[in-house]
Structure 1
């Protein structure tokens, strides 16, 4: 009969990722493969002596998170992987993804195993992609607002000239005014369609969730929107939490929800009006509020705001069209994040849209890894 234990040990030794087995009762690592020495620059035979030093290099924001995960892991295999950062003096931090394993034998002895993959390159690629998408989507919203306003003004001027100016007989002026009106109307529709297609395409892709500092990742599009406030014609401000707040987000999708809500606030707020975003911690949640000084939403329409093709849809103050899908998609994406979206509004007094999403799990007491505490 083949010796499967030898086969799997050979496989572990050949792996490029760190593989280990930990005995909680003994408080010791009982196996670690050769990759440990290459990845952590340590010595396999000294792994238990080196473990406290490794844990002290954990990113401070990840310590309570890992402690919570460790406590769950000792009760059974967690349903998900966990990602943590290891600090290096004067260098970028190193990302690791831990895939856990759990085994309990007939005598009740528990062994915890796992694979540690260095995902630093992948994480930095994802962060750069999210950064690019956030800036792109915020810039598209600014350009959409600016260009739509210009084309709507051209359309209005053409309509005014048609009504106020008498054209000579056989003049081509009425025909040219028709071209101006049609081109302007089609251009506005094309711009809004571009934004809607971008949002719909993103919403139809698979969810890619990471544990992120909400204020840090949303600062990028908020900075972009604030930089464009002169173009937008509104005073735009935002407030971020004083300390990091972590949540599990698909950064690209969640950013587009925020931009959609801010874009709606611009559409229904008169020129020189104020639009503001506030991000703050709540009890077990991260709270994001988008507030405006716009025309408000009639009470009778508010129950229908988040329905697909809602009858609550209205053109913007500058004639911007709406599909009635934006807020429905925002609600769907929030639900994917186990969150909630609501609105408070009065006609003539503006609106506040509030999103609440669960904070990433934390723990009140330290967990122990052998003789080493993973402190909050």
Structure 2
């Protein structure tokens, strides 16, 4: 029968991930495998000497959370994996995922073992995918708003001419105006159906949350909205310091774009729409404000219900399915947040999203044990 201790030692040594054992009582690393040399460019036999310089490279935004994680780990309470960054002066940040292990031996010594995986490629891929999706979603909303407005104007002109021209010299004129009106109406419906299908498809995919700087991931779509805003004054403000939350970036961006799209629908030309991202007590607060027509008081209690009687045509005739705000609220709640509205007729509306910041570490019971979770 093989020696299991030797087998696991050989497996750890051969791993492409950094494997280590730290004696917390003595404050020393007693084992690190060869991957330490390849992944972190250090010398395994000098790892304790190199450790302070390595820790100094921790990203400053990750340090408070990792300090709390370390406290929980040393008490045997850390079970979840944790992601963090190491800084490089002339290269992109290096991302790692740590899988922890804790053991206290019969003599009372505390041993912390772990596996450290370099996930930089995955993180860069995800960031690029999120950026692409954010740009795509913002572009679709802009095109939807602008194209719908153009088709609705053509439809309204055709309706007006058809009513004004009672007896045209050419009988084909009435048919052509009717065809123009019908085609414009169908085009508006097709555009909105396409956007709604895109939103529904995204909402029905699995939730994948990552710890991200909210301002950084929302800047791109907000920039696009500001650069391409036609007929309205659009502005946004982001926090000066990084503000982290656990987001499914694609889904959350679509929520924001949907709320902005609604604000544009119910705000007259030359009106104002704005987005503000601000820190709150342990939370991230996002405000979507407009100075449009507002929401009648009797409709506000049922605003977030499916196929609600609160459905209204936009000021330019834009249709509503009654599902957009329901999905927005659902997605926000998937992020352990809330979505609320304050509105007054003739004065405008403010939709407020509140989601937890990701830097808090909470100990919660699970299967009879205390574990660490991040929200």
State the TM-score bracket (shorter-chain normalisation).
over 0.9
SS at match of 1:219: helix
Q: Report Cα offsets for 1:31-81 as digits up to 9, x if no partner.
A: 111100111111111111111100001111111121121122222353432
SS at match of 1:55: helix
Residues 58 and 295 of structure 1: CA distance in aligned 2, closer, same or farther (over 3 Å): same
1:86 aligns with 2:86: yes
SS at match of 1:300: helix
- Show structure 2 runs of 5+ residues with no match: 362-375
Taking only aligned residues, the RMSD between alpha carbons, in angstroms, comes to 1.4
SS at match of 1:319: coil
Residues 223 and 110 of structure 1: CA distance in aligned 2, closer, same or farther (over 3 Å): same
Q: 1 CA distance for matches of 2:168 and 2:245?
A: 66
Aligned to 2:294: 296
- Please tell me whether the aligned partners of residues 211 and 245 of structure 2 are also in contact (alpha carbons under 8 angstroms): yes
Q: CA deviation at 1:355?
A: 0.5
TM-score, L = length of structure 1: 0.93
Q: 1 CA distance for matches of 2:261 and 2:79?
A: 37
Aligned to 1:193: 193
Aligned to 1:330: 328
Q: 2 CA distance for matches of 1:51 and 1:138?
A: 44
Of structures 1 and 2, the one scoring higher in RCO (CA 8 A, sep 6+) is 1
Aligned to 1:147: 147
Q: 2 CA distance for matches of 1:79 and 1:250?
A: 22
Q: Report Cα offsets for 1:319-356 as digits up to 9, x if no partner.
A: 11111111111111111111111111001110000001
Aligned to 2:340: 342
- Please tell me whether the aligned partners of residues 68 and 361 of structure 1 are also in contact (alpha carbons under 8 angstroms): no
- Please tell me whether the aligned partners of residues 20 and 33 of structure 1 are also in contact (alpha carbons under 8 angstroms): yes
Aligned to 1:124: 124
Aligned to 2:278: 280
Aligned to 2:314: 316
Matched ranges for 1:10-49 at <5 A: 10-49=10-49
Q: Report Cα offsets for 1:132-177 as digits up to 9, x if no partner.
A: 1111111111110000001111111111111100234771222212
- Show structure 1 runs of 5+ residues with no match: 364-376
- Please tell me whether the aligned partners of residues 21 and 112 of structure 2 are also in contact (alpha carbons under 8 angstroms): yes
- Please tell me whether the aligned partners of residues 77 and 100 of structure 1 are also in contact (alpha carbons under 8 angstroms): no
Residues 3 and 330 of structure 1: CA distance in aligned 2, closer, same or farther (over 3 Å): same
1:266 aligns with 2:268: no
Q: 1 CA distance for matches of 2:8 and 2:78?
A: 22
- Please tell me whether the aligned partners of residues 79 and 101 of structure 2 are also in contact (alpha carbons under 8 angstroms): no
Which moved further from structure 2: 71-80 or 344-353? 71-80
Total equivalences in the alignment: 361
Q: CA deviation at 1:92?
A: 1.1
Alignment equivalent of 1:238, drawn from 213, 236, 250: 236
Q: 1 CA distance for matches of 2:169 and 2:222?
A: 54
Aligned to 2:364: none
Aligned to 2:73: 73
Aligned to 1:227: 227
